[in-house]
Amino acid sequence: MQDVVTNVGVKVIPWIPTPAKRVMFGGRSIIIDGNTLDPTLQLMLSGMRLGGIDGLAVNADPAASRAQMRQSLLSLPGPQIHVTVDDLTIPGPAGEIGARHYRPASGTASDLLVFYHGGAWVLGDLDTADALCRLTCRDAGVHVLSIDYRLAPEHPAPAAIDDAYAAFKWACEHAAELGATPGVSRSVETARAATWPRWCAT
């Protein structure tokens, strides 16, 4: 039942007119610190709760939670963003780290963004972050290097942090090989942006 709710919701809700969405959730927008939650996301979250899905976690089962997150994100409608994409591996502290390189259409050297997917260090992978990385690469005109760091609980802390640091260090040293501007690398993480720099700087 939960799978049906998720599949139907992510495919249908984005196409509902915004005024109708507001009516469906009672016209009460969620506002936090002056920021209003997107109506599509608000309605999708409400629908998931009605279907018995409360958040990303599924009964504290990492495998089920990861599968649910993948299904939810990969089912979202929208056009495919075409940029040059290559999968590669990076040497890490406990073996090779999977990575995905997105190259802007211009083909000229530009900044390199090292991207760490969200998921509280437990969920997510290269595929769940693929659409966002493609969008960032195209619209910002930068190279994006997405990192498939080790996940908990199979790999307890600081495994993810160690991978993050190793990947960023490698990116700084090999930016030119990726076609990016040497010495100009930045990082972003969609759920723990404030934590990565603090750990990686130590």
The domain locations on the chain are: 2-55, 84-200
Whether the predicted pLDDT of 61 surpasses 90: no
Contacts 24+ apart (CB under 8 A), 36-41: 40/13, 40/14, 40/16
**What is the per-residue pLDDT across 23-54, written as a single tens digit (0 to 9) for each?**
887 778 888 888 888 887 787 777 767 766 66
Better-predicted residue by pLDDT, 93 or 22: 93
**Greater pLDDT, 105 or 100:** 100
Give residue 162's pLDDT.
96
**Span 114-129, average pLDDT:** 91
The distance in angstroms from the start CA to the end CA of the chain is 46
The model's pLDDT over 147-187, given as tens digits with 9 standing for 90+, comes to 999 999 999 999 999 999 999 999 999 999 999 988 655 66
| pTM of this structure | 0.72
3 state SS of 49: helix
CATH class as words, domain 84-200: alpha beta
Distance CA 109, CA 159 (A): 32
